[in-house]
Structure 1
Amino acid sequence: MRFRIRAPSGTHTVTLDDNSTVNDLCLKITELTNLIEYDVKGGFPPQPLVLAELPSDTKLADTGYKFNGEQLIIASKEEPGVTQAKATASHSASMTNVPPSSTEQNSSQQKQSFAGKQSSTSSSSTTNANLPSLSRKPNDVESDPPTYEIPTRGGRMVLRVMPDDNSCLFRALSTVLLGPSLDGMTELRSIVAQVIASDPETYSEAVLQRAPDKYAEWIQRPESWGGYVDIKCIAEYLGTEVVGVDVKSGLITRYGEGAAMRAFVVYSGIHYDALAFVPDGCTAEETEFDTKQFPVDDEAYLEAAKGIAGMLKERNYFTDTAGMSIRCGVCGWTGNGEKAATKHAESTGHMDFQEG
């Protein structure tokens, strides 16, 4: 049998004999990843493979899981500093919800690519991996997110702020579509890659601005940002409508129309956040009571999403990439707008910019 392993260390192709056991697989994972403790998911959409509950001499063919031609997603459960020196025949592949790493949760540089644009009329905004990175101005929204009361539904809509990193879109979509997940962002990136690989006519080089196989490879990197192409792939694959609400323009964009349920993300120029409904009697901080998907025919939630966007606009929670003042964090150059910054980046190689 032949399959792929996708781990923090990279992607590996594995070939095992048909008589290989659970222990053989776990030793191979440790060999390739240097991990002793990890979680495993497989299939589409990825589901936990609870290998630790099986006898180690169980043949892979008898586990009930499919391996041949599949991709396994490996997520570390180890504390920083664990190395191959600890490797033994022991293994752990239990199903646990691994939270985002502290690096993802608290991005010290708080950078987000200029691209990641929501507009479905411009594919270049979602596929150019060499555009500069932009640091947003500080804003109090993260510490004091807006809420919008929906009295007829017994609660309120709340903004769930995503960290400023190149995965804000995938993190927001994972929040509203997958909920607590072993590695939701990795799952969604894998889904995009699979959809693009299976439909090269729709997702052609002209749309992606690179060969589909190259895009599929690129989008699975954790540092690659996403945009409308990726939202479309994910919404249609999971069968849930995703509504993008633009803070500056108020524009509503629907992806995956025709589904019974919908979820909301908010786009503020270079960043995506998620929306959730909190019932009366719960504080906004009690995220375990969040509802994040809603019937598509219930307009009350859509109006609430628009209301949240309006509040954010009043608080200047958006970035005007076309006309904003920008300063190069490398040489001090100043200019106005994304085009000027991109030109400066192309001529100098400088990729670190701050909103002026």
Structure 2
Amino acid sequence: MTVNLRCRSPNGQLTFQGLSAEMTVREFLELLGARSGLPCESLEILHGFPPKPVQLPSNLDTSKLSELGLANGDMFTLKSALTVARVARVEQSVHQSLALSEQAPKQGLAASLVEDDDPELARALAASLERPVTVSCQSAPSTSTYKSQGSLTGGEAVKGLHNDIALPNAATSKASVAAPAASNIDLADGTCVTRRIIDSDNSCLFNAVGYVMEHSRMKARELRRVIANAVSADPVTYNNGFLGKENDEYCRWILMDQNWGGAIELSILCHHYKVQIAAYDIRTKRCDVYGADAGYAERVMLLYDGLHYDAMAVAAFRDAPEDLDVTIFNPASRDGSMIMDGAARLVAAAHSARQFTDTANFKLRCGVCQIGIKGEKEAVEHAAKTGHTNFSEY
């Protein structure tokens, strides 16, 4: 007997087809770890409504998948028990570290988040950035941020360090530069599927959705509020197990401009707009369609390179002005089939040109203890053990 399962993980939605119900639980956990990039020895499976942890058997080698209570077609949520409250934060730190090092590789600066009430970590992070820092501790400060002039004060909004450090060309808008190669695929009717570049400003997912839905690259704050309102209104669904943090904490977190969006946010936005959102991953060439099972007739397309989201549109012709773009289409129509074929070819061309970042295998260095780390998985494990979240690519 085989089963098909779907999984929400910190790295996006995963699909497992044709799994043997007789495979051992250990084999299942190893498969989950390999596909999700999370440490398999600390995986936590949440299932049901509201999501509740699945009790794993004491003997993983003799117990079968069929004993976990997951039925064919079920959706479950995957977390790392060691890092439930840290995975999203560490992944963001790693991603922002790489994005920053690409913008200013000579500086070798790493993005990071300063731990609340942790002066020692603040000093270590500042030392890793080779900048002097003074620490001013207030009574029970709720948050802290490192400012470019070299002071750490309590009671301010948490920010990634690089947001306050002036870097050459760090604020250059991606929308103002030439699109990369493999950005246009001609279609049979003379139109073309094209990649529309979105700013690298930590809000690329929201502005990419804003572009395909409303032809605006300035929708991030509005859409962050949409997500916060949806999550706040349904604390049963959006609980700690689902979000990786408490409901009210997440609502504050997603409203902060420096925090990145992912699968959770796309799943909410597809219902907000009542449209399918197809997110294409350049590295894997996989397409995850949010809202596909909700009966929505129309679709929009995003492109993900491992660190950044851009929008995809159908241009009237090559180099046509953006105001002629078509971004919403019916995937069941003949034109929709042609558009999706063009999108798949664009993704394949971008993959062949290696226009992606392999976060599973890139080489990182911890900015606190300076040890070498391979990939996001090891970074998450290192952060769970040490509390260090300052990484740079090398």
> Shorter chain as normaliser: what TM range?
0.5 to 0.7
Give the match for residue 392 of structure 2. Answer: 353
Give the match for residue 261 of structure 1. Answer: 298
Q: CA deviation at 1:155?
A: 0.4
CA distance in 2, matches of 1:125, 1:311: 37
Whether 1:173 aligns to 2:212 is no
Give the match for residue 119 of structure 1. Answer: 13
Q: Is contact 2:206-2:224 (8 Å) kept?
A: yes
Whether 1:149 aligns to 2:186 is yes
SS of equivalent to 2:312: strand
Counterparts of 1:217-228 in structure 2 under 5 Å? 217-228=252-263
Aligned partner letter, 1:266 = L
The alpha-carbon distance between structure 1 residues 125 and 300, as it changes in their structure 2 partners (threshold 3 A), is: farther
SS of equivalent to 1:264: strand
SS of equivalent to 2:89: coil
Q: Is contact 2:364-2:391 (8 Å) kept?
A: no
The alpha-carbon distance between structure 1 residues 145 and 307, as it changes in their structure 2 partners (threshold 3 A), is: closer
Give the match for residue 355 of structure 2. Answer: 317
CA distance in 2, matches of 1:350, 1:228: 22
Aligned partner letter, 1:174 = G
Give the match for residue 71 of structure 1. Answer: none
Give the match for residue 342 of structure 1. Answer: 380
CA distance in 1, matches of 2:339, 2:349: 15
Aligned partner letter, 1:317 = Q
CA distance in 2, matches of 1:164, 1:126: 23
Whether 1:290 aligns to 2:253 is no
Whether 1:135 aligns to 2:174 is no
SS of equivalent to 2:339: helix
**Equivalent pairs, count:** 237
Q: Is contact 1:116-1:271 (8 Å) kept?
A: no
Q: CA deviation at 1:173?
A: 1.1
Whether 1:303 aligns to 2:341 is yes
Q: What's the C-alpha RMSD, in Å, of the aligned pairs?
A: 2.9
The alpha-carbon distance between structure 1 residues 125 and 118, as it changes in their structure 2 partners (threshold 3 A), is: farther
The alpha-carbon distance between structure 1 residues 350 and 127, as it changes in their structure 2 partners (threshold 3 A), is: closer
Aligned partner letter, 1:314 = S
Deviations 1:11-56 (A, max 9, x none): xxxxxxxxxxxxxxxxxxxxxxxxxxxxxxxxxxxxxxxxxxxxxx
Q: Is contact 2:373-2:379 (8 Å) kept?
A: yes
Give the match for residue 206 of structure 1. Answer: 241
Q: CA deviation at 1:116?
A: 7.2
Q: CA deviation at 1:232?
A: 0.6
CA distance in 1, matches of 2:307, 2:250: 20
Q: Is contact 1:235-1:256 (8 Å) kept?
A: yes
Q: CA deviation at 1:327?
A: 3.4
Aligned partner letter, 1:184 = K
Q: CA deviation at 1:125?
A: 10
Q: CA deviation at 1:141?
A: 7.9
SS of equivalent to 1:232: helix
Q: CA deviation at 1:162?
A: 2.2
Q: CA deviation at 1:216?
A: 1.5
Give the match for residue 197 of structure 1. Answer: 232
Structure 2 spans left out of the alignment, 5+ residues = 1-8, 15-76, 104-176
SS of equivalent to 1:236: helix
The alpha-carbon distance between structure 1 residues 267 and 226, as it changes in their structure 2 partners (threshold 3 A), is: same
Q: TM-score, normalised by structure 1?
A: 0.59
Q: Is contact 1:117-1:125 (8 Å) kept?
A: no
Q: CA deviation at 1:323?
A: 1.9
CA distance in 2, matches of 1:247, 1:163: 18
Q: Is contact 1:268-1:318 (8 Å) kept?
A: yes
